[in-house]
Amino acid sequence: MEYSFFDLLKLLGSLALFLYGMKIMSEGLQKFAGNKLRSILAAMTTNRVAGMLTGILITALIQSSSATTVMVVSFVNAGLLTLKQSISVIMGANIGTTVTAWIISVFGFKVDIAGFAIPLLAFGIPLMFSQKNSRKSIGEFIFGFSFLFMGLSFLQSNAPDLSKNPEMLAFVQGWTDMGFGSVIIFVLVGTVITMIVQASAATMAVTLIMCANGWINFELGAALAMGQNIGTTITANLAALTANAQARRAAMAHLLFNVFGVVVFLIFFNPAIAGVKWLVANTMGTMDAGTQVAFELSTFHTLFNVINTFLLIWFVDLMEKAVSLIIPKKETDEEFHLKFISGGILSTSELSILQAKKEIFAFVDRTKKMFVQVQKLYDEKNESEAVKIYSKIEKYESICDRLEVEIANYLNKVAEGRLSDHGKQEIHKLLREISEIESIGDSCFNMSRTLLRKAEKKVVFTDEVDKNIRTMMDLVKQSIEQLDVVLHSNDNFVPEVDKSNNIENEINNFRAALKKHNIVSLNEKAYTYEVGVMYMDFIMECEKMGDYIINVVEAHCEVPKAN
């Protein structure tokens, strides 16, 4: 079989289309169905068993564990699934893929999702040009979905076709008489083959051909099947290359899950092989050698995934910690996720309100980080680095928008339950808080837009303007830090509120003084009108942020009336 450099370029192009599809699909999901889909997925994955069953169901329906794990990675990347939820779904996907194998064996039926990819684009293109943002987002999702599966299909078709050229692997006959060493070698061979052809079904076809030709026995065929389980994880890890830390961890969990299973089965390899042979012989009756090997391999593959899942389903928390240690979160990684609110069944009203309050504290912490990035952007002289910081602030702002909606939806659900008048007033207070906190994020984003415009136009502030802006930013920093103190001061917040009011008065007075002085400076031509506009835009946005901060303080300190 010839495999030219042009074929290699087609393979790399297929990978590029696959990764781009993953990115567009994740972004489209995030924009359109984020809140609704997250609620559905959260309900389907309320515990590890429910998550596993969800993985089995999805994989059995779409008949591709690779497709399921890639979608799970995209859901994690979009913040629709937590890492813990994704691990149980991935475990279920491994069992689901064995259902697919039996369906193909018994009925010879397999859905070709890639076949629907191009026709789907006909529906996606009108939506992409729609004036409505929600329709555009659906169009993006359709395009991403189509590109992802087209890329996956092209990856498989442009990879070396080993299933039709098994003679390429005839050399492995020389490794069949090395005892347990042969088993290890064939696990590695199965891993490499699946990584190359990007399809576990193709690896199984190669394995069956090699067994039918008598090149290898069932034991070594089982070793190839185990290697296939490790090799198939490369698809999810490829999809996670462009994703955030949580998505990369989900893909890594898939790899660890299968590696663990292979290690366990290697330890008990001989008893496992003997058990499968006995099970097939006593349940399937008499059959020809080729059919018997096929059923033995399918049975082994099923037992491998079922037993592996049964062993690890109780250690999802431990796997989450392990992948978090292997893939530490970088400073540049920032993804949306709620820390204290889950999408499952609501707790008691008191506990639900407490969870919402904790989430609001985390929300404030995020806006504090956002303002730190604004200060960093102000000091950044390199234009390309400034664009990176601006992109990070923009991502923060998008996360803040989603946090507001998620927390508000949660509080509204709590409000639908049986609450005292005191509890209802408490929820009203919290809803007001999150609205104002989101506005703080908006102000940070507006400041960053002014600073990016300044960098792009290469505008230089005078020393006096620079000093005034830094003074204003220091006041705003004091204000948001004091907000944190107020939120954590429990009932004794009167002195802390006074401090917040004093800082707010300083911000207002300083803004008023700078506004008057700016007119004088422009008349005296101390700086250009363009500088004056950007200067005042920034100062006014700082003052607005101070207003939003004091609004949060006032909302927090509003004492609900007792029954």
Half-sphere exposure of 538 (CA within 13 A, CB side): 27
**First-to-last C-alpha distance (Å) of the chain:** 82
The span from the CA of 313 to the CA of 489, in Å, is 41
The span from the CA of 41 to the CA of 85, in Å, is 9
What per-residue confidence (pLDDT) applies to 205? 61
pLDDT top residue among 275 and 74? 275
Q: Answer whether residue 338 is part of any domain.
A: no
Q: Do residues 200 and 228 lie in contact, with contact meaning Cβ atoms separated by under 8 Å?
A: yes
Q: Nearest CA to 544 among 517, 507, 496, 503?
A: 507
Specify whether 125 is located in the same domain as 159.
Answer: yes
On the question of pLDDT at 563 being above 50, the answer is no
Average pLDDT, the chain: 80
Domain that holds residue 301: 5-326
CATH of the domain at 374: 1.20.58.220
Please identify, among 326, 358, 393, the residue that sits at the C-terminal boundary of a domain.
326
Specify whether 146 is located in the same domain as 37.
Answer: yes
What per-residue confidence (pLDDT) applies to 330? 66
Q: Answer whether residue 335 is part of any domain.
A: no
What per-residue confidence (pLDDT) applies to 343? 52
Q: Answer whether residue 467 is part of any domain.
A: yes
Specify whether 44 is located in the same domain as 90.
Answer: yes
Task: Kindly state the average pLDDT of the residues 215-233.
Answer: 83
Specify whether 13 is located in the same domain as 47.
Answer: yes
Its pTM stands at 0.59
Q: pLDDT tens digit string along 44-63?
A: 777 788 888 888 887 766 55
What per-residue confidence (pLDDT) applies to 378? 94
The span from the CA of 37 to the CA of 516, in Å, is 51
On the question of pLDDT at 154 being above 90, the answer is no
Specify whether 356 is located in the same domain as 264.
Answer: no
Q: Do residues 252 and 326 lie in contact, with contact meaning Cβ atoms separated by under 8 Å?
A: yes
Q: Answer whether residue 62 is part of any domain.
A: yes
Please identify, among 326, 359, 385, the residue that sits at the C-terminal boundary of a domain.
326
Which two three-digit tokens encode residue 495? 């002195």
Highest mean pLDDT among 104-118, 131-145, 477-491, 541-555: 541-555
Judged by DSSP in three states, 1 sits in coil
On the question of pLDDT at 305 being above 80, the answer is yes
Which two three-digit tokens encode residue 271? 């008893």
Residues contacting 545, CB < 8 A, separation 6+: 371, 440, 443, 444, 447, 476, 479, 480
Task: Kindly state the average pLDDT of the residues 258-270.
Answer: 90
Specify whether 82 is located in the same domain as 179.
Answer: yes
Q: Answer whether residue 341 is part of any domain.
A: no
What per-residue confidence (pLDDT) applies to 112? 60
Please identify, among 292, 326, 360, the residue that sits at the C-terminal boundary of a domain.
326
Q: Name the pLDDT band for 562 (thresholds 50, 70, 90).
A: very low
On the question of pLDDT at 218 being above 50, the answer is yes
What per-residue confidence (pLDDT) applies to 384? 83
What per-residue confidence (pLDDT) applies to 201? 58
DSSP structure class, residue 215 = S
**Helix/strand/coil percent split, the chain, to 5:** 80, 0, 20
* Phi, psi of 502, rounded to the nearest 5 degrees: -65, -45
Q: pLDDT tens digit string along 66-123?
A: 767 777 887 787 666 778 888 888 888 888 777 655 655 555 445 566 677 788 888 8
- Percent of the chain at pLDDT > 90 equals 22
Task: Kindly state the average pLDDT of the residues 189-207.
Answer: 70
Q: How many structural domains does the chain have?
A: 2
Q: pLDDT tens digit string along 372-430?
A: 999 999 998 888 888 889 988 988 888 888 888 888 888 888 887 777 777 888 888 89
